[in-house]
Amino acid sequence: MSEPLALSSGSEAPSATDGARTLPSLTASLRRSRTLTEALTAWTLAGPAVFFLLVLFFLPVIGVFVIALTDWQFGARTLSFVGLANFREAFADGGFRTSLFNTVIYVLIVVPGTLVLGLVIALLIESGKSCRPFYRAIHFLPFMATMTAMAIAWEALLHPTIGLVNQTLAAIGLPTANWLRDENTALPVLAVIGIWQNLGYAMILFLAGLKSIPKDLYDAADVDGADLWLDRLCTVTLPMLGPVSMFVVIVVALRAFECFDTVKVLTQGGPGHASEVLLYTLYRESFEYLRTGYGAAIAVVFLAIVVTLTLVQTRVMDRKVHYQ
């Protein structure tokens, strides 16, 4: 029998130690390749959204902040850096402080009013047995309509002599008023219109929240003795609607801070400054008086207030809306 061929002197047989060293390095290489592929895929999918977020949000915000530090006027070819002078002027201006105060009052009326009425209407619709789609559509239509067109309709309704509101009040023996030209009623009336506009949106969200509550919780509440509707409302419905309520508060508050259409169409900030809000002040300073740098400073203040309130609302309310 022939002898096995001998290995040449220039080559050696692979050892088990070499194989043990090669396997981990190969595994690490495959892991790095997979991680790189996942990162490239993630950036490919998220890239367009990140690009548009940068172009449509972050860059304009940076641009507004830079303009707020200058004395630039709309249409001017030159500008000068003035630092924080526009911000100091804004907080020293009585008109700006009045518009800030009016905005806060407007939000404090619109948000609770929308929250309470939206929940009540949602509960009434959910408890009814017929015409639910009709009631949902009726209450949701104001949210879908153009607010400028609706403001013109409200202007006709609130007319001091021929308006339906005053005619109805006079017919039942109640005093009438010039609602949009009285310093005491202009801002509350605008807030009522704001509640009317956002009511349908809050109602739809609360209806969705009511649909998501398990029926077993109501059965358990009945077993525990909560058989009255008020007991079930306080022990089951309201706690389970916590996340929806938080979302409604944040969204409606943001929309209330953005109030502009009704002020522009109905009152133009008057009488005096009784119904002037921040966005109308921003518009007037930037596009009527052409003080673009000063208007940009107001925009920065407005953005800071909205972001701060949103973060505070989220942190404070988020602790109270999650249940095990």
Predicted local confidence at residue 131, as pLDDT? 73
Mean pLDDT of all residues belonging to the chain: 85
Model confidence at 323: pLDDT above 60: no
Query: pTM value?
Result: 0.82
Q: Kindly state the average pLDDT of the residues 224-253.
A: 85
Q: How far is CA 152 from CA 122, 261, 262, 274, in A?
A: 28, 10, 9, 20
Considering the domain boundaries, does residue 84 fall inside one?
no
Dihedral sign (CA 108, 114, 120, 122): negative
φ, ψ for residue 10, nearest 5 deg:
-90, 0
CATH code of the domain in which 239 resides: 1.10.3720.10
Quick: pLDDT tens for 259-313. 999 999 999 998 989 999 999 999 999 999 989 999 999 999 999 988 888 888 7
Considering the domain boundaries, does residue 43 fall inside one?
no
Band (pLDDT 50/70/90 cuts) for residue 35 is: confident
267 contact partners, CB below 8 Å, separation of at least 6: 180, 186, 190, 274, 275
Q: Kindly state the average pLDDT of the residues 238-255.
A: 89
Band (pLDDT 50/70/90 cuts) for residue 207 is: very high
* Segments forming the whole domain that contains residue 308: 94-318
Band (pLDDT 50/70/90 cuts) for residue 142 is: confident
Model confidence at 27: pLDDT above 80: no
Predicted local confidence at residue 301, as pLDDT? 93
Which residue would you say has higher pLDDT here, 39 or 210? 210
List the beta bridge partners of residue 70: 81
Asked whether the beta carbons of 248 and 205 are under 8 A apart, the reply is yes
The tally of domains found in the chain comes to: 1
Considering the domain boundaries, does residue 300 fall inside one?
yes
Model confidence at 324: pLDDT above 50: no
Which region, left, alpha or beta, applies to residue 72 given φ > 0 means left and ψ of -120 to 50 means alpha?
A: beta
Predicted local confidence at residue 15, as pLDDT? 52
Question: CB neighbours (10 Å) of residue 196?
Answer: 18
Question: How far is residue 29's CA from residue 129's CA, in Å, rounded to a whole number?
Answer: 64
Considering the domain boundaries, does residue 157 fall inside one?
yes
Considering the domain boundaries, does residue 18 fall inside one?
no
Report CA Rg, the chain: 31
